[in-house]
Amino acid sequence: MLVRIHVKQLRLGMFVHELCGSWMDHPFWRGAFLLEDPKDLKTLLATGIKEVWIDTAKGLGIAVESDDDEGETEEQIAAEVEATLAQANKATKAVPRVNIAQEAARAVKICAKSKQAVTSMFHEARMGKALDAEDALPIVEEISNSVMRNPGALISLARLKDKDDYTYMHSVAVCALMVSLARQLGLDEAQTRQAGLAGLLHDVGKMMIPLGILNKPGKLTDVEFQSVKDHPSQGHKMLLEGKGISEVALDVCLHHHEKMDGSGYPEKLAGEQISLYARMGAVCDVYDAITSNRPYKNGWEPTESLRKMAEWSHGHFDKRIFEAFVKSIGIYPIGSLVKMESNRLGVIMEQTEKSLLQPVVKIFFSIKSNARIAPEILDLSKPACKDKIVSHEDTIKWGIHDIQELWSDVPAAPW
């Protein structure tokens, strides 16, 4: 039997049949599910959803009131909710946060190892071997843990890929971006891992594109371009033949090039026809693509890329997802070169909780003297700091070739 209840009456063991409200009001990719994880309940209570439909034939119902019992008081309900939230917080896997330099050193090894694993896995897929999710999950786990320790390190390192290794490192980068975005959206640990796996496998269909087309430096012919546009469908077919591949990974693989206005491909889905995970995949895929060096063009700076994506967001991306993405990586992502009001150059080291416009910056160059200066770390969110960012800058324009070493204290990535 279907019963409509207030969200505060939800208890673990109930089967949620339908959420009363717009898909945009909640981060769940599915509309009906058994409420087993206390973190799912925590997420539901934190959204704008007021009421839900539960199916008492598939899960618990609400307590029946007796003649001498008027039911639970608001205080009792509140106490139960608090107890559930405490259980959710306790159940969350604790991953200690570390500083950027510590994680960068570890992230270099994770990127190299992940690239090697993805290359091997994709090459085997090209040769016709069925993909097995079990082979990919350890990679996702390593990447996820790195992002949780310090989200900026691996994401920034993976962006600095060589154009010849783009397809493989792009998969690693999108996996990391999906994990970071999932955390920003409040998805639970299992959902976050599913998002990461989907990011890792989203472009596997490119293994079916001839390398001459995939790495062509010039403009593609109409036939070649159609071959490239077929990669979501080709990848979806490959994943269907695989083992243990989730519905989330299948969905993102097929639909990460769909657009909110219906102008995407392969199915021209629009609006709420596109799932939460596919909307996430669209944002993460485009960001890494336009910030990376490709055979036919050099990547844009991260801040410029976000500005351009904001211009496209009305018809291309889900606005709420894009805004969450910006919060997850910062308006000035780690590794960005910026010009300061003090007429100096700096590189973004860390985001701060206070403001997306006030990160931690390492100052290293005097524009007035046109020379390097002793590095100085500035936390722009501190009241005592009077300097501020006035613009993002192009590393090529200034001849800065060691930007990675400046923010991470590790040599340039070997991939």
Give the C-alpha separation, 126 to 207, whole Å.
5
- pLDDT band for 29, please (50, 70, 90 cuts): very low
pLDDT for the residue 83: 60
Chosen domain end from 269, 298, 329: 329
246 and 104 share a domain? yes
**Do the Cβ atoms of 11 and 77 come closer than 8 Å?**
no
pLDDT for the residue 166: 85
Chosen domain end from 37, 63, 91: 91
46 and 104 share a domain? no
Q: Please tell me whether residue 344 adopts helix, strand or coil conformation.
A: strand
pLDDT for the residue 353: 81
Q: How many structural domains does the chain have?
A: 3
- pLDDT band for 25, please (50, 70, 90 cuts): low
Q: Tell me the pLDDT tens digit for each residue of 298-326.
A: 888 899 999 999 988 678 999 999 999 99
* Least confident span in 56-65, 122-131, 161-170, 256-265: 56-65
161 and 191 share a domain? yes
217 and 255 share a domain? yes
Residue 155 lies in a domain: yes
286 and 195 share a domain? yes
Cis peptide before 266 (omega within 30 of 0): yes
Q: Tell me the pLDDT tens digit for each residue of 235-269.
A: 999 999 999 999 999 999 999 999 999 999 999 99
Beta bridge partners of 294: 297
Residue 413 lies in a domain: no
Q: What is the mean pLDDT of residues 329-333?
A: 92
Domain range for 23 is 2-91
152 and 109 share a domain? yes
Give the C-alpha separation, 205 to 255, whole Å.
12
Residue 415 lies in a domain: no
377 and 314 share a domain? no
What CATH number is given to the structural domain containing 227?
A: 1.10.3210.10
56 and 111 share a domain? no
214 and 130 share a domain? yes
- Residue 210: half-sphere exposure toward Cβ, Cα within 13 Å: 9
Higher pLDDT, 87 or 169: 169
pLDDT for the residue 183: 92
294 and 356 share a domain? no
176 and 217 share a domain? yes
Residue 363 lies in a domain: yes
Higher pLDDT, 73 or 256: 256
pLDDT for the residue 409: 80
148 and 38 share a domain? no
* Least confident span in 207-216, 239-248, 276-285, 371-380: 207-216
From start to end of 313-413, where are the E strands? Answer: 337-340, 344-350, 360-366, 371-379, 389-392
Q: Where are the alpha helices (DSSP H) in 202-347?
A: 211-214, 222-229, 231-240, 247-255, 276-291, 302-312, 319-329
Asked if residue 46 has pLDDT above 80, the reply is: no
Chosen domain end from 303, 329, 355: 329
- pLDDT band for 27, please (50, 70, 90 cuts): low
Secondary structure (DSSP) of 16-33:
EEEEES-GGG---S-S-E
Asked if residue 233 has pLDDT above 80, the reply is: yes
Query: CB within 8 A of 192, min separation 6: which ones?
Result: 144, 179, 182, 183
pLDDT for the residue 71: 47
